[in-house]
Amino acid sequence: VFPVGSENGYTSWIVTKYDHVKELLKSPSFMKDQSNLYPSSDRGNEAEKVNIFGNMMLDVDPPDHTRLRKLVQPSFNPKTIKQLEPRIREISDGLIEDMKKKEGSVNLVDDYAFPLPIIVISELLGVPAEDRDKFRKWSNTILAASSDSETEFVEDVEAFTTYLTDLFEKRREQPEDDLISQLLQTEEDGEQLSTNELYSMVVLLIIAGHETTVNLIANTMFALFEHPEQLKRVTQDHSLIPSAIEEGLRYYSPVDFSTARWSEADIDFHGNRIKRGDLVLASISSANRDEEKFENADQFDITRRRNAHVAFGFGIHFCLGAPLARLEGKIALEKLFDAFPDMDLNRTEPSPEWRQVFLLRGLDALP
């Protein structure tokens, strides 16, 4: 448990050990909604709170969290997700056909790992997949919010909001068999979903669907390219794919840090005095390499047993999309190994680099 900064008398902390990370993510004393913790003059970012992501389920506590999660949980249950399998296979086949037509080397990030989950989440929600480049840009800007141009941020948020407003209008007039039409119905019925919550829900699902599974697929492939004997084994024996995916999630965790929690009270946490209002982050990557939990934690091993990683978080905010991400990852790798049994990293290109984005661990490109 490390203090990493302080501002206005509050300290920020990072928690790195596996057991401590689980404890932090499980404890109701570490809250998601900080708005009641500070005297009003300290509430720096409240006025800037933008509606389209000010009311995400990821940022609130029970009972709001429970209510919001219940609305979408049925669409993401393993059983429901399983029904998407034929369509995910089809999308994957299409992307592979396109890659085969390319001359020379392909980029596994842009040509495969990125479009696959985007097309799937777009279809599930009912947003046109052709607009994916816009979403990519908007997702990027929102995630980089604190470091990049403020004007660009405001412009992109405005464009995203207008886009969704138009889309909602269309779906209201002509509902379809998709999640957005279903959420619009819930919003109209009142009580269960406010307008801000509706926007926040769709934005959260778009961002989560854009920025995570791409990293699961590309990072796992990268780790396999770094370990050619294991790549060969899993290419020949597809029954190893699920454990390769779990090991990819642990070894190069797509989400590096949890989102922020705030301490509800002055608490002693493993020898540290964490004060009411302090910000606490869990280092998921560090927990997943904790030697006390994982034998040879720094080794990539697709046959690892008892791989209880926390790549999808823990507790009530445990990733809603985990069954979808796992299924997409499994199909993505299966199809790749079938289509390109001899594929390798293009070692004449510069070594792949990690994107410089807070919270996420993903590659810029994978030639």
By CB under 6 A, name the binding residues for ligand HEM: 25, 57-58, 69, 121, 204-205, 208-209, 212-213, 216, 254-255, 258-259, 284, 311-313, 317, 319-321, 324-325
- Residues whose CB is less than 8 angstroms from the CB of residue 213 and which lie 6 or more positions away in sequence, other chains included: 113, 116, 117, 254, 321, 324, 325, 328, 329
Q: Nearer Cβ to ligand HEM, position 74 or 271?
A: 74
Minimal distance in Å, beta carbon 251 to ligand HEM?
A: 12
Q: How far apart, in whole angstroms, are the C-alpha atoms of residue 99 and residue 319?
A: 31
Considering the complex, what minimum distance in angstroms separates the CB of residue 356 from ligand HEM? 19
**H helical segments located in 300-351:** 322-339
d(CA 319, CA 313): 6
Which residue, 67 or 346, is less far from ligand HEM as judged by CB?
A: 67
User: Which residue has its beta carbon closest to ligand HEM?
Assistant: 321
Q: How far is the CB of 40 from ligand HEM (least distance, A)?
A: 26
* d(C-alpha 167, C-alpha 342), whole Å: 43
Q: Report, in Å, the least distance between residue 366 CB and ligand HEM.
A: 16
Closer Cβ to ligand HEM, 154 or 308, answer by number: 308
Q: Closer to ligand HEM at the Cβ: 157 or 208?
A: 208
Rounded Cα distance between 209 and 260, Å, is 20
The CB-of-349 to ligand HEM minimum distance in angstroms stands at 25
Residue 306 beta carbon to ligand HEM: minimum distance, rounded to whole angstroms: 19
Do you know the residue count of the chain?
367
Residue 10, strand partner residues: 7
Residues 6+ apart with CB under 8 A from 291: 297
- The rounded distance, in Å, linking the Cα atoms of 102 and 1 is 49
DSSP, collapsed to helix, strand or coil, labels residue 323 as: helix
CA distance 356 to 364: 9
Q: Closer to ligand HEM at the Cβ: 167 or 344?
A: 167
Residue 102 beta carbon to ligand HEM: minimum distance, rounded to whole angstroms: 26
Return the closest-CA partner of residue 32 out of 205, 279, 334, 231.
Answer: 279
Structure token pair of residue 153: 């941020």
Nearer to ligand HEM, 66 or 165 (CB): 66
CB-nearer residue toward ligand HEM: 321 or 367 = 321
